[in-house]
Chains A and B, each alone.
Chain A
Amino acid sequence: MLRNFRELYQYRGLLFSLVQRELKARYRGSVLGFFWTFLNPMLQMLVYALLFSVYMRQKLPNYTFFMFVSLLPWNWFSSSLAGGASAISDRRDLMTKVRFPAQVLPATVVVTNLCNYILSLPLMLGLGLFFGEWMTWHVVAFPVVLLCQLCFTLAVVYIVSALNVRFRDLQHIVSNLLMMWFFLTPVLYPVTTIPEAFRQWMVLVNPMAILVTSYQAIFYEHRLPDFGSLMALLSGAFALLWVASQVFERRREEFAESI
């Protein structure tokens, strides 16, 4: 694992340039250009806001803001996974024609989406001001949650991208699983909506639930997240990252041949 990350650090220039390019490329050629970074989550939020504060009324105060707080990190995770699944299998040109450090590709997807998330944070905070939800000192816990999610996302994307080279079904399975995962994670509803009987259980097996509720705690409920479960998640994420490196390392040799 260490070797993997040392190499990743060694190729940080490449990673940086690729992320920069991805960010620029996403909206290149569109009229509104970089504005789409903000416009996309805004429009998505409008749809859900219409659905849940007008049609299926939620009793939560400032529901739109609540949803926005959890939707943005979920978007980071889900687009990383959806894009990361084919990160290696789609880049035949890089894998078969030049000596290219494969681990940079999944990392690029994750980091690009992280940048998108961070860039849309001001939007979220602005929305908070609009609803009268001011940021409190609890935000100090934010970097920790961010780190947890980064490790977890990286690990999952590494495994999926490595396996997808051989089994292309995976990218389709992943996109469908993500949909289910989305509704099982308390993104659109507070965790208290889950029936008492298996609430604890649902949250424990779903790392994304821990993460999303932590974001909600910091920005919406203005309290510190539950550090116990966060630390458990972080160590779990590290273990998963180790497994991911092993899987990736073992599969890596066949990338160029199987693509």
Chain B
Amino acid sequence: MPADNADAIVIRDVVKSFRKSTIRREYTTFKSELIRWIRGQRQQEEMRLIEALRGINLTIPKGRTVGILGRNGSGKSTLLKLITGIYTPTSGSIQVNGRISALLDLGAGFHPDFSGRENILINGIILGMSRAEALERMDDIIAFSELGDFIDEPVRTYSSGMYMRLAFSVATHVDPDILIIDEILAVGDQHFSKKSLAKMTEFKAKGKTIVLVTHDLVSVERWCDMAAWIDAGRIRRVGTPAEVALEYRRAVELAEEQSMVMQPSALVADGAGLPQVTVLRPVTGPQASAEQRSGSFRLEVSRIRLLSSGGVERAEVDTEEPLEVSLDFLSKEPLSGVHFEVVFRREDGVQVYTTGTRGAKLELPSPLPERGNLRLRLARLGLLPGNYFVDVCARGTQDEVLDFQRGLHGLKVSSPSAEGGLVRPLHEWSFEPYAASPAREERTQVIA
């Protein structure tokens, strides 16, 4: 056994190109091939290739959950299909250690005229179970799918939700060493997706390797141990989910700001990638783990305090109370163009409010003094009860991240009011009965 046995998947210099199925909008047929051959147009071969992956190197250790990010057409699905073995790489090698199961599409090979039970058997075998295993796990699969008596009805009579539930149940009962998922965690209603997530957690707990492709950055940050960002057929960044998601978000925002026209990257000669952003590797200080703090730390926000009325530091605040966010910073070198951002974020990641010194037109001295204190004053907090985070980011020129602290400062909001939602704007209810309409009185008078 090779020494790198601890790695579930090792991908080395993988390039994948596809042949275009049309040449000058003509499909390949006997006729077209014959004509091409007679005319001796063989040399055009490279013109007809599409490069989907342009040299991928990625090692996924056993037992890790890896999220793969990237915009549409960046090569994520191609990579998954290469790992699964559906495609073979044009060059490079992929080494997979362990039984692999891919949820790229649910219900492959389902036959509409057959009952759920019959389809479980055949789909299970297609996904890699033996016949005996499929029969043995039949009851578990049926129970998990919650289809009840419907299991003996033909699949064509199922609603799409039932169909997906059945397919997902089979797929997750294959018991692979490596599970590959392409954007399908959101199956069925809320109840079922909770169950699906529980199944994922179970997989994780059993030490299985999971590779997940998704656009949902929140779930990457929540679920994965590691993230890889693929852009224009290349690995742009590998690292902790928070790091990678942050950089990915910034790149997408920047692309939007520059109103870049997104082209399918595989069609552009050198790949139309997202713009470069500079997020430097975090200096791992003693007080912050890498997931929560990043930046170049040429300037550090050394202390963040949440103060309520009277300047008292508190972690729990009432909706109606004022709040002050106090930032002490320490600049290690003279920096110009520095600006600060404060983000209020609910614990599930929903951004509630973002404000910055630049947007508020607050002129900070340039260069910034070595030390200083910055205060954001909210006369009234106005957030409804719940758990929030106050994230702080200091940026330099060209949006260089100096110090980004995310999820480090919790804020609990409590309130006696029984209202729902996120914010509590200043408001007032009023009631006024309609007086008898004066218009009608007039008309009555006229008639009289």
Q: Do A and B bind each other?
A: yes
Residues of A within 8 A of B (CB): 13-14, 16-18, 21, 24-25, 28-29, 93-100, 166-170, 253-254, 256-258
Residue in A14, A29, A256 whose CB lies within 8 Å of B125: A14
Say if the beta carbon of B105 comes within 8 Å of chain A. Answer: yes
A-B contact pairs, 9 of them (CB 8 A): A21-B118, A25-B113, A98-B108, A98-B109, A99-B85, A100-B108, A100-B126, A169-B29, A256-B87
B86 touches A258 (CB 8 A): no
The verdict on B114 contacting chain A, using a C-beta distance below 8 Å, is yes
Determine the chain B residues whose CB is within 8 A of the CB of A93 once the complex forms.
105, 108-109
Q: Of the candidates A14, A97, A167, which one forms a contact with B29 in the assembled complex, judged by CB atoms under 8 Å apart?
A: A167
CB pair A99 B100 closer than 8 Å: yes
Verify B86–A99 contact, CB threshold 8 A: yes
B172 → chain A, closest Cβ, in Å? 14
Q: Is the CB of A97 within 8 A of B122?
A: no
Are A17 and B104 in contact, CB atoms less than 8 angstroms apart?
no
In the assembled complex, the CB of B112 is this many whole angstroms from the nearest CB of chain A, namely 10
7 more A-B residue pairs beyond the given contacts A14-B126, A100-B108, A253-B87, with a C-beta to C-beta distance below 8 A = A25-B114, A94-B109, A94-B126, A99-B85, A253-B88, A254-B19, A257-B19
In the assembled complex, the CB of B309 is this many whole angstroms from the nearest CB of chain A, namely: 60
A21 & B88 in contact (Cβ 8 Å cutoff): no
Pairs A-B, 9 closest by C-beta atoms: A97-B105, A13-B131, A98-B108, A99-B85, A253-B88, A97-B108, A28-B113, A256-B86, A97-B104
Contact A21 B102 (CB under 8 A): no
Q: Contact at A98–B87, with CB atoms within 8 Å? A: no
Per the CB 8 Å criterion, the residue count for chain B at the interface is 32
Residues from chain B with Cβ under 8 Å of A98 in the complex: 84, 86, 102, 104-105, 108-109, 126-127
Query: CB of B412 within 8 A of chain A?
Result: no
Known: A93-B109, A257-B18. A99 touches B122 (CB 8 A): no
Q: When the two chains form their complex, are residues A17 and B109 in contact, meaning their CB atoms are under 8 A apart?
A: no
Find chain A residues with CB under 8 A from B18 CB: 257
Q: Across the interface, do A169 and B125 meet the contact criterion of CB distance under 8 Å?
A: no
Q: Which of the listed residues A21, A25, A97 has the most CB atoms from chain B within 10 Å of its own CB?
A: A97
CA distance A14 to B109 in the complex (A): 12
Residues of A within 8 A of B88 (CB): 253
Mark interface residues in B105-135 (1 if CB within 8 Å of A CB, else 0). Answer: 1001101011000100110011110110000
* A21 adjacent to B122 (CB under 8 Å): yes
Tell me whether B30 is interfacial, beta carbon within 8 Å. yes
Nearest Cβ in chain A — how far from B169, in angstroms?
16
Scan residues 378-427 of chain B and give those whose CB is less than 8 A from a CB of chain A: none
CB-CB contacts of B6-44 with A at 8 A, as 1s and 0s?
A: 000000000000110100000011110100000000000
User: Within 8 Å CB of B111, what residues of A?
Assistant: 21, 25
Which residue of the partner chain, among B84, B113, B125, contacts A99 with CB atoms under 8 Å?
B84
Q: Closest CB of chain A to B127's CB: distance in Å?
A: 6
Contact B125 A96, beta carbon cutoff 8 Å: no
Cα A254 to Cα B90 with chains together (Å):
11
Contacts of B100 in A (CB 8 A): 99
Q: B198-245: which residues lie under 8 A (CB-CB) from chain A?
A: none
Residues facing A in B29-62 (CB within 8 A) are 29-31, 33
Could you tell me if B28 and A167 are in contact, using CB atoms closer than 8 angstroms? yes
Bound: A99/B126 CA distance, A:
8
Query: A257 to B121, Cβ gap below 8 A?
Result: no
Closest to B126 in A: A98
In the complex, A17 Cα to B118 Cα: how many Å? 10
Taking CB as reference atom, which chain B residue is nearest A168? B29
Q: With the chains together, A61 CA to B28 CA distance in Å? A: 51
Q: B195 in the interface, Cβ–Cβ < 8 Å?
A: no
The smallest C-beta distance from B136 to any residue of chain A, in angstroms, reads 14
B81 within 8 A of A: yes
**Cβ contacts under 8 Å, A14 to chain B:** 125-126
Q: By the criterion CB–CB under 8 Å, are B33 and A29 in contact?
A: no
- A100: B residues at CB distance < 8 A: 108, 126
**Chain A residues near B130 (CB, 8 Å)?**
13
- Chain B residues in 8 Å Cβ range of A29: 113
Contact status B81-A256, CB under 8 Å: yes
- Chain A residue numbers with a CB within 8 Å of B122 are 17-18, 21
Question: CA–CA, A24 to B31, complex, Å?
Answer: 39
Give chain B nearest CB distance to A36 CB in angstroms. Answer: 15
Contact: A17 with B113, CB < 8 Å? no
Q: Across the interface, which residues of B come within 8 angstroms of A16, CB to CB? A: 131
Chain B residues, Cβ within 8 Å of A13: 125, 130-131
Q: How far is the CB of B230 from chain A (nearest CB, A)?
A: 19
Docked Cα-Cα span, A17 to B119, in Å, equals 11
A92 to chain B, nearest CB (A): 10
Among residues of A, the one whose C-beta sits closest to the C-beta of B124 is A17
Taken together as a complex, chains A and B put the C-alpha atoms of A186 and B113 apart, in Å, by 39
Shortest A38–chain B CB gap in Å is: 21
Cα-based distance from A254 to B122 in the complex (angstroms): 25
Which residues of B have CB within 8 Å of A166? 28
Task: Give A259's nearest chain B residue, CB to CB.
Answer: B21
Q: Which residues of B contact A25 (CB under 8 A)?
A: 111, 113-114
**Provided the pairs A17-B122, A17-B125 are in contact, do residues A167 and B30 lie with their beta carbons within 8 angstroms?**
yes
Q: With CB as the reference atom, state the residue of chain B lying closest to A257.
A: B18
CB closest residue in chain A, given B118: A21
Q: Which residue of chain B has its CB nearest to the CB of A101?
A: B126
B131 touches which of A17, A167, A170 (Cβ 8 Å): A17
Q: How far is the CB of A97 from chain B (nearest CB, A)?
A: 4
Q: Quick one: closest B residue to A16, CB to CB? A: B131
Interface centre among B19, B21, B86 (most CB of A within 10 A): B86
Q: How far is A21 from B84 in the complex, measured between Cα atoms in Å?
A: 26
Residues in B neighbouring A169, C-beta threshold 8 A = 29-31
CA distance A16 to B121 in the complex (A): 12
Within the complex, the shortest CB–CB distance from A184 to chain B, in Å, comes to: 23
CB distance from A251 to the nearest CB of B (A): 12
CA of A100 to CA of B125, assembled, Å: 10
The answer to whether A21 and B114 touch (CB under 8 A), given A13-B131, A14-B126, is yes
* Docked CA distance A166–B109 (Å): 22
